[in-house]
Amino acid sequence: MKITRIHVNNYRILQNFDFDLEDELSLVIGKNNCGKTSLLSILEKFIGTQSSTNNFSYDDFNSTFQDVLYSFVSEEDKDWNDVAIKGIELLLYIQYDEKDNLANIQPLILDLDPNNNMVVIKFEYMLSPTKLNQLKEDFDSYIQRYKDHKKSKNQDAFESFIKTRHRKYFESYRKAVLYDEKTKEASNIEYSILDSKDLDLSKIICFRCISARRDTVNKEGDSTLSQLSSRYYEKTKSDQENPEVIEFEGTLQNTDETLTGVYEGLFKNVIDKIKKFGGIRESETVVRIISSLSQQQLLKGNTTVVYQNNNHELPESYNGLGYLNLISMIMEVEIYLGDFLKQNDKAKRPSDINLLFIEEPEAHTHPQLQYIFIKNIKELLTEGISDENGNALVNLQTIITTHSSHIVAECDFDDIKYFRRVSSTNVISKNLKQLEIEYKNEKNPDHNHFKFLKQYLTLNCAEIFFADKVILYEGETENILLPAMLKKVDEEHPTKDEVPMLSQNISLIASGAYSQIFDKFLAFVGIKTLIITDIDAGEEVVKRDKNGNNRTNIEACSVESGTHTSNNALKHYYQKPLKEYLDNAQGSELNFFTTLPLNDKSLDKVENNWCTSPTGNLMIVYQTKEEDYYPRSFEDAFIQINREFLSNTISTWESLKNKEDVTEKYKNGNYKKDAYKVATTCVKSKSSFALDVLLHSVAKDNCTYSNWEIPPYIEEGLIWLRKN
């Protein structure tokens, strides 16, 4: 038995939210404020240890629902029954098979169809039509009562009224819902389960969580980890055959007897006075003070976790926060595994489903510890719920949320769930294993594309999952200079309406000449992306092969001489508009790209095609005309616009050869060699060339890199990316 899906309505940012669970481990990733903590919170409030109490706040309602609620309270002639979802909802889809014991979920089975092996539990915090009418009346009275205080019937007044009173009107419900096998959704057929006698939820689901707000930051002398030792003992003491437990309790008993003898002498004076004032005779009951050490309290208040260094015992507060966090998590995992196995109450059977939620395990830990954690957590959990033969004693599913690219890099790609915020009020969850299906559904599938992407994303650039924006760049030169260019754009083009680029969460990813492989991934994650590439002009050249046959090849040339581009990324992303352009016989392939306006360089994915759109989420920039010259590559473009910069400092440029070709001019002041020839014959190393640019930079007038210019195509792309 397992939970296959979680659906949430109207809880915080989870307005209409679906989340698929893996059988063992689901790793939830995504940038900040995309609903990861909200998922944990609603599970705690409906199925956690505090689920029996109403601990919702008005701020838990999705803001869109708050607006809807206010409209019904403030306006007449609106029927609350027309609103499909009247509050917060959590639906758990539970799948079972013939091996499962169905005794506990029997009240949830509403369909006798043997092919339907899914049950749905719905949890609601909702407002009934009757309660809505009462709410309207009470709010009207509230406004009348405070009209002298200038209270008007607006949304601010309503929120002030409802925030402390919502529990009076909203009520909690649990329902069994019929699962529709055809639509794969919960149907409208429901059965309310009002009494715990009808459904003991603890027998079906045991939910435990390790919150990111772990108390690992100790003051001097505190023993936070030692508090866990008493909880761990509670888990362990149920094993009456454990020799360590027997020895511990036997030692406590002997200690109690010894201390009782000591107490008789220590408290003799006060006991004698009690006898005198109380009129107690020798034959009557006497007052005694005895020792009664509690195992749990003894561990809680009188043990200290230390670590040993060169024969010196140092307190736990001397541990680094990363180790404290790791030790704390492992101890809590062990404690909760004991809860799942019902080690403290052997008379109880383990719950049908056990759900463990670990929030942000990477807190305070360095990358190596993060790698170790994710590598070993599955094994730790599997061993913890298995017998000596390796057979699982309980059904356990684990959800881990993380912001760590290091954890993502070491996890199973198919376990990843990507949370993406699509609006200010809604989040969606995507399964990364769905990407493989999309890549295999290509018209001309290259299965190596997905394999490459899977390896590359996890090994080299997992941080893209946590970024707000991304730049895919082609070469090492751009890699070295892009951070400087981001800073230069902020300094030279300041704006009050946009966040500076260096303050934005922008991930820089090397894609080489293969940015087209990221096609489906970029559409999948929906992240704003700038691709910086080269126009790579070429011309058709006919040559004879070894068999004497004529072969047409595209060979590199200057843009002025070219008719084609050898850049496959450009031809891939602009495939549809390029085809339309060529079909209309408007010009050559290269002419399409050299005449494409900036607005048409931004793209949106429509079905399976990238289409030009001024509001697109993807832009591809490449060289553009600089005065009367059209460069072919980055170095070409940089040299053209910065020829004077190079000429003035040429003597100390280690990356250049044939330096006279850089500086030599005709009498009319024009350079003898154009930028294309200089780029192809004078640059010894592209990476060294980029480093030389930084080494020869000069700061002036609040600009760190004042003596050189960004190639226009990159500058306009960065300005586009900076926009919200």
Instruction: Express each pLDDT in 429-460 by its tens digit.
Output: 999 888 888 887 666 555 578 888 888 877 66
Q: What is the pLDDT of residues 530-540, one digit of tens each?
A: 999 999 999 98
- Output the pLDDT for position 379: 86
- Output the pLDDT for position 226: 54
Q: What is the pLDDT of residues 239-293, one digit of tens each?
A: 555 666 666 666 767 777 787 788 777 667 666 655 555 555 555 555 666 666 6
Side chain identity at residue 440, one-letter code: K
Residue 515 contacts residue 472 (beta carbons within 8 Å): yes
- Output the pLDDT for position 355: 96
> CB count, 10 Å around CB of 704?
13
- Output the pLDDT for position 96: 94
- Output the pLDDT for position 220: 43
- Output the pLDDT for position 508: 92
519: buried, middle or exposed (CB in 10 Å: 19+, 13-18, 0-12)?
A: buried
236: buried, middle or exposed (CB in 10 Å: 19+, 13-18, 0-12)?
A: middle
Q: What is the pLDDT of residues 320-367, one digit of tens each?
A: 566 677 777 888 888 888 889 988 777 889 999 999 999 988 876 777
**Statement: residue 80 has pLDDT above 90:** yes
Range with lowest mean pLDDT among 264-273, 459-468, 561-570: 264-273
* Cα 324–chain centre separation: 24
Helix (H), strand (E), coil (C) string for 259-311: HHHHHHHHCHHHHHHHHHHHCCCCCCCCCCCCCCCCHHHHHHHHCCCEEEECC
Residue range 616-642: average pLDDT?
93
> CB count, 10 Å around CB of 15?
22
Residue 635 contacts residue 683 (beta carbons within 8 Å): yes
pTM assigned to the model: 0.81
- Output the pLDDT for position 63: 94
- Output the pLDDT for position 621: 96
**Statement: residue 219 has pLDDT above 50:** no
